[in-house]
Structure 1
Amino acid sequence: METTKRGFCWKLFLLYYLFVEGSAQDFAQTQFICTSVPKDMDICAATLQNGVPGENLKTTVMQLRETVLQQKETIMNQKETIRELTSKLTRCEGQSAPETGDARPGGRRKDPGTKNTMGDVSRGPADSLTQLSQTLQSLKQRLENLEQFSRNNNSVQANSLKDLLQTKIDDLEKQVLSRVNSIEDGKPGLRNETEQRGRVESTLTSMHQRITDLEKDQKENRPLDKFQLTFPLRTNYMYAKVKKSLPEMYALTVCMWLKSNASPGVGTPFSYAVPGQANELVLIEWGNNPMEILINDKVAKLPFLINDGKWHHICVTWTTRDGVWEAFQDGVMRGSGENLAPYHPIKPQGVLILGQEQDTLGGGFDATQAFVGDLANFHIWDRKLSVGEIYNLATCSSKAQVGNVFSWLESSLDIYGGASKWTFEPCRQLN
């Protein structure tokens, strides 16, 4: 009996140390004294009489009970996790089943595009192989997690489920190898599909070439000046660029056909920038301002009213001597002035852009200043045209001339950003 009591005392204090003190090192440095206790005497009272704190011992017992309850709750959670994993394994097993037919008696092979039990659309062997590989990787990851779970919790159920997972993984690896072999055996069919795709692509290429040839014939049969540029949106990327620069000019005439109903302002029909001066020659109407002509960043306001959605012919003439300018709309002079950049020649080696205003040489476009509408028959001369010559241009007279500095030809422009090109007869609205 004495030995039994001493053993109980030893176990009690050992449990006290393990759950309260919590350190093997402290255990090595702690001394325990055990004394015999009469059979019918209260143990806690006896320990109190012998100098052992009974209240602490009661607290230890309560903590041990709490620990036991927590362990039971943990075990229940682990069992729930195991049931969930088992359910997922069952679904994975159903997903990785061969798709040769329905599992029920008399079942038919699934048609392409039919959803399987996992909600995915059944596809070809390569897709099935991908699904199997993904399932395999997922199960391997779960196995690693379960091994860690087993090491931490020493759970018999976890080890059992780990063995089950390993078996499933082995089966899936065999299925993957089987699918690979099936794909290798089916290579002749894939080769036939590749050949068929090649024939289709060849046919499409041939049709595209025929369409290109037809468009080329249409372009060759159409006069190169019978076209218009359309800028449907106010953007900073739609524009046309003239392929050559302007020469140095001491006088000029600029004429064109315009149609727009944009508001506020039609934007910038053209801009010419040179190194060191972005506003060397610009025609612009933006915001609520009237249309303006800029030469060397000097401004003259023009009396044009064109944003009514109809075609209008406009011309601006200028000479460097005294900076004299004149403005014509539909063959009629609407305004004139002087002191516009007097004695400043238009400089060469610049960039001429249609549809955008340049803040830098060839760039720096601002969408708010972009031209919206149609533009055609843009011409530039290095002299001042007479009133009669401008009238002939506006009325499509047979005596009308083309620009000697820039002439409106498709081959003279590069078009960017989606601006479109259409056939255009400049005087069709006059008929």
Structure 2
Amino acid sequence: MQHNTHGEMQTIKKAISWKLLILSYLFVEGSCQDFGGGQTQFICTSVPKDMDICTATLQNSMPGEDLKTTVMQLRETVLQQKETIMNQKETIRELTSKLTRCEGQSAPEPGPGGRRKETGIKNTMGDVSRGPSDTLAQLSQTLQSLKQRLENLEQFSRNNNSVQANSLKDLLQSKIDDLEKQVLSRVNSIEDGKPGLRNETEQRGRVESTLTSLHQRITDLEKGQKENRPLDKFQLTFPLRTNYMYAKVKKSLPEMYAFTVCMWLKSNASPGVGTPFSYAVPGQANELVLIEWGNNPMEILINDKVAKLPFIINDGKWHHICVTWTTRDGVWEAFQDGVMRGSGENLAPYHPIKPQGVLILGQEQDTLGGGFDATQAFVGDLANFHIWDRKLSIGEIYNLATCSSKAQIGNVFSWLESSIDIYGGASKWTFEACRQLN
């Protein structure tokens, strides 16, 4: 950059020197007579050393057009070079500013389909930013989630007249009230700028440790509900955008030359609902992924090839979505609430879905079974997740979405509590899709 600027400055200096040289002996202003024009004229011409200037002017009534053109060209060159230098100075300032920002933060660049590339550095706390305000926001969300779970447990205990459940509920409610007081105290510390902020890391650790304990105790209490519901009448809830809440399917998928995947989703997360599911195999983390990340539309990925799906689901309501695909010509179709919303082809054509992988609900995998990124986590509720190794018909999908007939279950994966393990505070609740529609 400096070498180019030096060359341009030399060009400008030469241009200015020529201009001054020409002007110094070619531009002559009137000590001569006014030749009929009534106005002073500038005449550009060469004059012999021993000749009178006025005489030379009379002998050359036509100005030197070639010299005049040269002067104009030089003038234009000077202006262009000046503009170039100004632009380059602005570019240098902009690049310097960007470099400074890059040195202060090293966020990974987006990969295919809007996903971030693996950098080897993960946020173990789950949040993208862990400043005081961000931490308080997450704690508030966690407390709200725990409250909701307690309300559901209270309803369960009323319906089943469980004395033990009521006792535990009261104890947990007391714990949550204490946590809310701690959060309020931290808010006051932040607003008042008190020295208590110096111990934020230690305080955050204590609060999160208590939250983890509460999650475990509520989970133990929720186990009592399983004995009173069918194994397929449940939903998974992912209340926070973290990199540690997820569910893992206990078995892998077989090799598939076609598939249909359907599920019920509810979310109001923004921007993007995250990753409802991801399937990774050795050597390919994006073998089969459904993701809505950032401001991008929802996408289906097969072997890292991407198709954009016309789904709009982040309105806080339950929606039934299905995606079908066949390896022949890579033909795909997308259904929302029983209606086809889009279709296409050439999505990973003639590439069968590989077996012996890991199927995760709620997170996008950067490595086999892990490498989760909090910014791509699913936030919301998921239920009735099924996979078939064939393309369902339009009528079959409509019946699934509207509960018009006896529900089919996936022959590759069917929605059963015994088929998945949950981690990191994700929770299970009683859910019945057809009741949601009524």
- Once the 2 structures are TM-superposed, how far is the Cα of residue 380 of structure 1 from its aligned partner? 0.2
One of 28, 43, 53 as aligned partner of 1:20: 28
Structure 1 residues 6-15 or 80-89, which shifts more? Answer: 6-15
Q: How far apart are the structure 2 equivalents of 1:143 and 1:25?
A: 106
- Once the 2 structures are TM-superposed, how far is the Cα of residue 197 of structure 1 from its aligned partner? 31
> For the structure 1 residues 176 and 16, does the alpha-carbon distance in structure 2 shift closer, same or farther, using more than 3 Å as the test?
farther
> For the structure 1 residues 227 and 322, does the alpha-carbon distance in structure 2 shift closer, same or farther, using more than 3 Å as the test?
same
> For the structure 1 residues 159 and 70, does the alpha-carbon distance in structure 2 shift closer, same or farther, using more than 3 Å as the test?
farther
- Once the 2 structures are TM-superposed, how far is the Cα of residue 430 of structure 1 from its aligned partner? 1.6
Q: How far apart are the structure 1 equivalents of 2:325 and 2:78?
A: 102
CA contact under 8 A between 1:312 and 1:329: conserved in structure 2?
yes
CA contact under 8 A between 2:142 and 2:239: conserved in structure 1?
no
CA contact under 8 A between 2:26 and 2:43: conserved in structure 1?
no
Q: How far apart are the structure 2 equivalents of 1:366 and 1:228?
A: 23
Residue in structure 2 matched with residue 171 of structure 1 by the alignment: 178
**Identity percentage of aligned residues:** 93
SS in 2 for 1:221: coil
Structure 1 residues 8-17 or 185-194, which shifts more? Answer: 8-17
For the pair 1:10 / 2:18, whether they are aligned, the reply is: yes
String of CA shifts for 1:81-118, please: whole Å, max 9, x gaps. Answer: 999999999999999999999xxx99999999999999
- Once the 2 structures are TM-superposed, how far is the Cα of residue 427 of structure 1 from its aligned partner? 2.2
- Once the 2 structures are TM-superposed, how far is the Cα of residue 428 of structure 1 from its aligned partner? 2.4
> For the structure 1 residues 87 and 53, does the alpha-carbon distance in structure 2 shift closer, same or farther, using more than 3 Å as the test?
same
CA contact under 8 A between 2:257 and 2:389: conserved in structure 1?
yes
- Once the 2 structures are TM-superposed, how far is the Cα of residue 253 of structure 1 from its aligned partner? 0.2
> For the structure 1 residues 423 and 297, does the alpha-carbon distance in structure 2 shift closer, same or farther, using more than 3 Å as the test?
same
Structure 1 residues 249-258 or 121-130, which shifts more? Answer: 121-130
Q: How far apart are the structure 2 equivalents of 1:26 and 1:231?
A: 93
Structure 1 residues 398-407 or 276-285, which shifts more? Answer: 398-407
- Once the 2 structures are TM-superposed, how far is the Cα of residue 398 of structure 1 from its aligned partner? 2.7
SS in 2 for 1:427: helix
> For the structure 1 residues 62 and 141, does the alpha-carbon distance in structure 2 shift closer, same or farther, using more than 3 Å as the test?
farther
> For the structure 1 residues 41 and 168, does the alpha-carbon distance in structure 2 shift closer, same or farther, using more than 3 Å as the test?
farther
Deviant stretches of 4+, over 6 Å? 1-101, 105-214
- Once the 2 structures are TM-superposed, how far is the Cα of residue 400 of structure 1 from its aligned partner? 2.4
- Once the 2 structures are TM-superposed, how far is the Cα of residue 396 of structure 1 from its aligned partner? 1.4
Residue in structure 2 matched with residue 70 of structure 1 by the alignment: 80
Structure 1 residues 64-73 or 256-265, which shifts more? Answer: 64-73
Structure 1 residues 210-219 or 323-332, which shifts more? Answer: 210-219
CA contact under 8 A between 1:268 and 1:369: conserved in structure 2?
yes
> For the structure 1 residues 145 and 112, does the alpha-carbon distance in structure 2 shift closer, same or farther, using more than 3 Å as the test?
farther
Identify unmatched segments of 5+ residues in structure 2: 1-8
Larger Rg, first or second structure (1 or 2): 1
Q: How far apart are the structure 2 equivalents of 1:299 and 1:248?
A: 20
Structure 1 residues 36-45 or 271-280, which shifts more? Answer: 36-45
Q: How far apart are the structure 1 equivalents of 2:109 and 2:433?
A: 68
> For the structure 1 residues 34 and 156, does the alpha-carbon distance in structure 2 shift closer, same or farther, using more than 3 Å as the test?
farther
Q: How far apart are the structure 2 equivalents of 1:23 and 1:167?
A: 104
> For the structure 1 residues 286 and 391, does the alpha-carbon distance in structure 2 shift closer, same or farther, using more than 3 Å as the test?
same
- Once the 2 structures are TM-superposed, how far is the Cα of residue 5 of structure 1 from its aligned partner? 96
CA contact under 8 A between 2:387 and 2:410: conserved in structure 1?
yes
Residue in structure 1 matched with residue 55 of structure 2 by the alignment: 45
CA contact under 8 A between 1:6 and 1:35: conserved in structure 2?
no
CA contact under 8 A between 2:28 and 2:44: conserved in structure 1?
no
RMSD (CA atoms): 29.0
String of CA shifts for 1:157-189, please: whole Å, max 9, x gaps. Answer: 999999999999999999999999999999999
String of CA shifts for 1:327-366, please: whole Å, max 9, x gaps. Answer: 0000000000000000000000000000000000000000
String of CA shifts for 1:270-314, please: whole Å, max 9, x gaps. Answer: 000000000000000011100000000000000000000000000
Structure 1 residues 62-71 or 257-266, which shifts more? Answer: 62-71
SS in 1 for 2:113: coil
Structure 1 residues 295-304 or 46-55, which shifts more? Answer: 46-55
Structure 1 residues 416-425 or 183-192, which shifts more? Answer: 183-192
Structure 1 residues 34-43 or 390-399, which shifts more? Answer: 34-43
Q: How far apart are the structure 2 equivalents of 1:26 and 1:146?
A: 107
Structure 1 residues 322-331 or 177-186, which shifts more? Answer: 177-186
CA contact under 8 A between 2:142 and 2:240: conserved in structure 1?
no
- Once the 2 structures are TM-superposed, how far is the Cα of residue 324 of structure 1 from its aligned partner? 0.1
Structure 1 residues 5-14 or 392-401, which shifts more? Answer: 5-14
> For the structure 1 residues 25 and 182, does the alpha-carbon distance in structure 2 shift closer, same or farther, using more than 3 Å as the test?
farther
SS in 2 for 1:106: helix
CA contact under 8 A between 1:255 and 1:380: conserved in structure 2?
yes
> For the structure 1 residues 166 and 280, does the alpha-carbon distance in structure 2 shift closer, same or farther, using more than 3 Å as the test?
closer
SS in 2 for 1:383: coil
> For the structure 1 residues 33 and 161, does the alpha-carbon distance in structure 2 shift closer, same or farther, using more than 3 Å as the test?
farther
Q: How far apart are the structure 2 equivalents of 1:14 and 1:152?
A: 103
Q: How far apart are the structure 1 equivalents of 2:113 and 2:249?
A: 74
> For the structure 1 residues 19 and 421, does the alpha-carbon distance in structure 2 shift closer, same or farther, using more than 3 Å as the test?
farther
CA contact under 8 A between 1:92 and 1:135: conserved in structure 2?
no
> For the structure 1 residues 48 and 193, does the alpha-carbon distance in structure 2 shift closer, same or farther, using more than 3 Å as the test?
same
Structure 1 residues 245-254 or 63-72, which shifts more? Answer: 63-72
> For the structure 1 residues 374 and 203, does the alpha-carbon distance in structure 2 shift closer, same or farther, using more than 3 Å as the test?
closer
CA contact under 8 A between 2:291 and 2:299: conserved in structure 1?
yes
Q: How far apart are the structure 2 equivalents of 1:230 and 1:129?
A: 21
- Once the 2 structures are TM-superposed, how far is the Cα of residue 425 of structure 1 from its aligned partner? 1.2
> For the structure 1 residues 99 and 133, does the alpha-carbon distance in structure 2 shift closer, same or farther, using more than 3 Å as the test?
farther
> For the structure 1 residues 35 and 312, does the alpha-carbon distance in structure 2 shift closer, same or farther, using more than 3 Å as the test?
closer
Q: How many residues align?
A: 428
CA contact under 8 A between 2:264 and 2:319: conserved in structure 1?
yes
Q: How far apart are the structure 1 equivalents of 2:159 and 2:84?
A: 12
CA contact under 8 A between 1:379 and 1:406: conserved in structure 2?
yes
Structure 1 residues 254-263 or 112-121, which shifts more? Answer: 112-121
CA contact under 8 A between 1:264 and 1:287: conserved in structure 2?
yes
SS in 2 for 1:21: coil
Structure 1 residues 20-29 or 180-189, which shifts more? Answer: 20-29
CA contact under 8 A between 2:45 and 2:64: conserved in structure 1?
no
> For the structure 1 residues 71 and 124, does the alpha-carbon distance in structure 2 shift closer, same or farther, using more than 3 Å as the test?
same
SS in 2 for 1:32: coil
- Once the 2 structures are TM-superposed, how far is the Cα of residue 397 of structure 1 from its aligned partner? 2.5
